[in-house]
Structure 1
Amino acid sequence: MIVVNKVNSQPTQDGDGVKISRIADFTGKYFDPYLMIDELKSDDKNDFIGGFPAHPHRGIETFTYMIKGGFEHKDQLGNSALITAGNVQWMSTGYGVIHSEMPITDENDGMHGFQIWLNMPAKDKLRPARYQDSTSLPNLTNTTGASLKLMAGQWTFGGETASSPLTELAANAALADLTLESNAKAEFDLSDAEQVLVYVHSGRFSSPRLNAGELAIVDAQQALAITASDDGAGALILVGNKIKEKIVHMGPFVMNTEQEIRQAVEDYQQGKFGSIA
């Protein structure tokens, strides 16, 4: 396993004062097809109680995964769902989505979850929006104390192959949550992908040396081999194919040209995205 680069998450705020740790690249040089990983991890409800009131998106896919706590999602398409611990949600925003994500009001045990942004190829950026969530995700295990929750796409692990219910992400993206017991090991062949990212969200790895809050960009053509520390570890594994197109980014909009960004702002201001009922 070859680690090409490491990136540390940075503290910031979004929505109505929600405290998050963020890793982002809107140039397409490093994480393509991924744009951003936001991790929300706190036992203090003041860090997240404001949630994410109604806001727009165009040209991206958002992927939400909760480990602890949950959010209530609503959008102008009429979708309404609780995204709770162990579950995921995917929105391919295309032409435009307006949605809100508010913490579940009776949640008193803290929050740990992610919203991940993926780029969309130019040919799909104005297609109708798509939405899917799942409350039943398969798990694969090996004999060393490692388990893999299949969040999106197809995976082979521990001698078995299985698929998440979510299989239509842009750029053939696939995501999984790897849980390792003390000193457990995990190995993957991900050579079919052009991009492989590993983000440690709990504990640390002893090999390669990675701590919580660090992202590793790894050589996709090399076998991915991970060993947890004595305390175990948890990590997101993100794979996909590179889109390799120009990116122009402004806030919630990600397009290919400045004119397309201006059009997105104009369409939103004119109410063409609709509104949440």
Structure 2
Amino acid sequence: MKIRRIQKAQATSDGAGVKINRVAGFDGKSLDPFLMIDELRSEDPKDFMAGFPPHPHRGIETLTYIRKGGFEHQDQMGNRKAIQAGDVQWMSTGRGVIHSEMPLSDKEGMHGFQLWLNMPAKEKMRAPRYQDSTKQPAKQVMLDETSYFTALAGTWQVGEMQLKTALQELAGQSALADVWLQKGAHLQVDITQFAKVMIYIHTGQLESYGEQTLIELDSDFLLDMVATNNVGFLLLAGQPINEKIAHMGPFVMNTQEELQQAVRDYQMGRFGDIV
């Protein structure tokens, strides 16, 4: 495992006061094609039950993965889905989406992620799309009796096995996996087809790096490692878009003029309403 860069998540809040840890990359370079990695993890309902009431987006894709607990998603396209432990949800907002994400229960705590992906300029104004894994569960391969690799989005080559998920149209040809390794477990993943590959540690320790650490890998080499500790992490990969970014709140476009138009369109009700 050859490392290019290390970045720590920062504590913040979003929505109606939901506490999260965030890695942001709105410079268009450090995380490209990703823009942001949010982790929500708490046993205290006060940290998450206020949720994310209706709000807009334009120009991004969101990828939501739940490890514990769940949210109910609603949007102006008519989608209303319970996204629960093990589920993945992809929303390509294009020219505009209004959606809400509200916790389903306060009894079991919450552990989940939302990733933002940048959309290429030529696609930012296309119609929005929605897809989730509730009818096509994520694909998992056991590495030993307790260690596993769960393919959540895109296609992965794990050892001799190819894992192709139902989510194949993410911006930047992006892919996501959740990995759990017991101490001593061996993992080999071919990451050489991606230009950007990152690990986000959510549980335990990877070598000398602890939780809420983002590690960017050199993708010229296979990811071939033996765990020295029990560790759980997300594996993120994709092809950088390499375009100028103009960002304001829930909107990510290419110019300030496009941002101003997004605000006007939202204020004039052109994004629609949740029914």
Q: Which category of TM-score, normalised to the shorter sequence, fits these structures?
A: over 0.9
Q: More displaced, 169-178 or 149-158? A: 149-158
Aligned counterpart, 1:276: 274
Q: Structure 1 CA distance, aligned partners of 2:147 and 2:154? A: 19
Aligned counterpart, 1:175: 176
| Alpha-carbon shift at residue 182 of structure 1 (Å) | 2.4
Aligned counterpart, 1:147: 148
The root-mean-square deviation of aligned C-alpha atoms, in Å, is 1.2
Q: TM-score, structure 1 length as denominator?
A: 0.96
**Structure 1: unaligned runs, 5 residues or longer:** none
Q: Structure 2 CA distance, aligned partners of 1:34 and 1:214? A: 16
AA of the residue aligned to 1:110: G
Identify which of 245, 259, 264 aligns with 2:243. Answer: 245
Instruction: Provide, for residues 65-113 of structure 1, a one-character-per-residue CA deviation record: whole Å limited to 9, x for no partner.
Output: 00000000000000000000000100000000000000003x4010000
Q: TM-score, structure 2 length as denominator?
A: 0.97
User: Equivalent pairs: percent with the same residue?
Assistant: 51
Aligned counterpart, 2:212: 213
**1:189 and 2:190 matched:** yes
AA of the residue aligned to 2:266: Y
**Structure 2: unaligned runs, 5 residues or longer:** none
Identify which of 220, 233, 236 aligns with 2:234. Answer: 236
Q: Structure 2 CA distance, aligned partners of 1:227 and 1:85? A: 27
Aligned counterpart, 2:82: 82
Q: More displaced, 121-130 or 159-168? A: 159-168
Q: How does 1:4-153 map to 2 (within 5 A)?
A: 4-105=4-105, 107-135=106-134, 136-143=137-144, 146-153=147-154
Q: Measured at CA, do residues 221 and 144 of structure 1 come closer, stay the same or move farther in structure 2, by a change above 3 Å?
A: farther
AA of the residue aligned to 1:123: K
| Alpha-carbon shift at residue 211 of structure 1 (Å) | 1.1
Partner SS state of residue 205, structure 2: strand
AA of the residue aligned to 1:276: I
Retained in 2: the 8 A contact 1:178–1:235?
Answer: yes
Retained in 2: the 8 A contact 1:54–1:98?
Answer: yes
Q: Structure 2 CA distance, aligned partners of 1:122 and 1:259? A: 13
AA of the residue aligned to 1:36: M
| Alpha-carbon shift at residue 145 of structure 1 (Å) | 5.0
Q: Structure 2 CA distance, aligned partners of 1:233 and 1:122? A: 37
Retained in 1: the 8 A contact 2:156–2:189?
Answer: no
Runs of 4+ with >6 A deviation: none
Aligned counterpart, 1:200: 201
Retained in 2: the 8 A contact 1:205–1:229?
Answer: yes
| Alpha-carbon shift at residue 143 of structure 1 (Å) | 4.2
| Alpha-carbon shift at residue 28 of structure 1 (Å) | 1.2
AA of the residue aligned to 1:221: D
